[in-house]
């Protein structure tokens, strides 16, 4: 059974009644239960539901642009009125976009419930051009704040939630820690977030993890900026950036410099959501597996979570990073998908009962 960590008894009772999946035994797929195997196989095993997006480019205060992919769910039977149709903002991982299988599955789950979704693609990675020499990072929440304000302004009467995966979850937590209760979001769901960047990087630099994940992710980061080389060369030694062989080297030469941090440690300190968890002011459910090499179990801030009545952690012993595969042939729904579906439905349809239970 997952470990449910929450200091608020009413929040616990709410989850047990309306999101019972967090108390059910999670049975990982027996032939790929180990965390690294789950992490590696999920993108290849899980299906990719068909989703028709409507793209929107919005301008930012600094002259940049952000690509949003909307799933309007115009045929929603439960919420035919678009002005009040519940909306879920989805934040993919480090180099992820609206095309990731885990995002497509979240949209599929939302579609069955009648909700609208919008995917926040970070600058420069979803095919659009960079208009300024700036990309994104886990610590800087300006773009996310602009997107949340924009979506809310379009549908001010619609209930509004957000869900973030991996770095998207870190970004969302850092935003919530900064804004407290001053946000149009009514709740948030976080999946496989890296809580302490120092510990995450140390784990990913172990020899086998470097071979399986670190080097590949570094090349993905380099690939995501190489097509914008002409724009970025105005500020960076791109030859040096492209020589990076670890995420730490990439962040030292590129990310921390781009966002004005004096040192890499200053950036990693600011990017770690564990520092801001105590300030979160809306109900948040966070799912992690303790065998996730991207977010080691010992770095999950259990004691800090117990000090905030708005926070609930769900910790499984297996599942890896955005894995959570279950069943003999885990093509479709994962444990993570079921947690997402039950939690957003619980909040949209019964959220007002949290404080009365």
Calculate the CA dihedral of residues 217, 102, 172, 60 and round it to 10 degrees: 80
Percentages helix, strand, coil for the chain (3-state, rounded to 5) are 45, 15, 40
For 160, phi and psi rounded to 5 degrees?
Answer: -135, 125
Burial class (CB in 10 A: 0-12, 13-18, 19+), 274: buried
Contact (Cβ atoms closer than 8 angstroms) between residue 115 and residue 72:
no
Contact (Cβ atoms closer than 8 angstroms) between residue 72 and residue 81:
no
Q: Which of 76, 203, 321, 337 is catalytic?
A: 321
Is 292 assigned a catalytic role? Answer: yes
Q: Which of 101, 166, 289, 295 is catalytic?
A: 166
Tokens read off for 265: 């440690």
Q: Which of 272, 292, 295, 337 is catalytic?
A: 292
Sheet holding 160-165, edge to edge: 3-6, 311-316, 284-289, 187-191, 160-165, 87-91, 116-121, 65-71, 54-59
Active site residues: 166, 292, 321
């Amino acid at each position: 059974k997952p470990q449910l960590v929450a200091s608020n008894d009413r929040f616990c009772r709410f989850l047990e009644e309306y999101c019972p999946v967090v108390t059910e035994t999670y049975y990982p797929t027996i032939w790929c239960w180990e965390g690294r195997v789950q992490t590696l196989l999920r993108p290849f095993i899980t299906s990719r539901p068909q989703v028709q997006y409507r793209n929107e480019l919005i301008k930012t205060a600094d002259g940049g642009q952000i690509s949003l992919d909307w799933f309007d769910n115009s045929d929603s039977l439960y919420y035919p009125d678009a002005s009040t149709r519940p909306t879920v903002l989805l934040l993919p991982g480090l180099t992820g976009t609206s095309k990731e299988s885990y995002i497509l599955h979240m949209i599929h789950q939302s579609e069955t419930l009648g909700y609208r979704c919008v995917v926040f693609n970070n600058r420069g990675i979803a095919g659009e051009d960079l208009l300024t020499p700036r990309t994104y990072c886990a610590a800087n929440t300006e773009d996310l704040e602009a997107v949340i304000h924009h979506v809310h302004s379009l549908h001010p009467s619609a209930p509004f939630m957000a869900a973030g995966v991996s770095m998207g979850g870190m970004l969302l937590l850092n935003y919530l820690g900064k804004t407290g209760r001053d946000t149009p979001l009514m709740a948030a769901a976080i999946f496989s977030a890296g809580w302490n960047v120092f510990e995450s990087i140390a784990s990913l630099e172990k020899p086998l993890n470097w071979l399986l994940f670190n080097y590949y992710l570094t090349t993905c980061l380099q690939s995501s900026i190489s097509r914008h080389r002409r724009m970025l060369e105005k500020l960076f030694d791109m030859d040096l950036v492209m020589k990076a062989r670890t995420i730490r080297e990439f962040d030292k030469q590129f990310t921390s410099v781009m966002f004005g941090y004096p040192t890499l440690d200053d950036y990693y300190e600011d990017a770690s959501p564990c520092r801001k968890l105590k300030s979160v002011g809306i109900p948040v459910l966070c799912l992690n597996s303790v065998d996730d090499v991207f977010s080691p179990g010992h770095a999950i801030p259990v004691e800090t979570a117990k000090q905030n009545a708005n926070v609930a952690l769900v910790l499984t012993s297996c599942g890896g990073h955005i894995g959570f595969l279950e069943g003999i042939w885990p093509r479709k729904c994962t444990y993570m998908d079921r947690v997402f579906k039950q939690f957003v439905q619980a909040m949209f349809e019964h959220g007002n009962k949290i404080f009365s239970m």
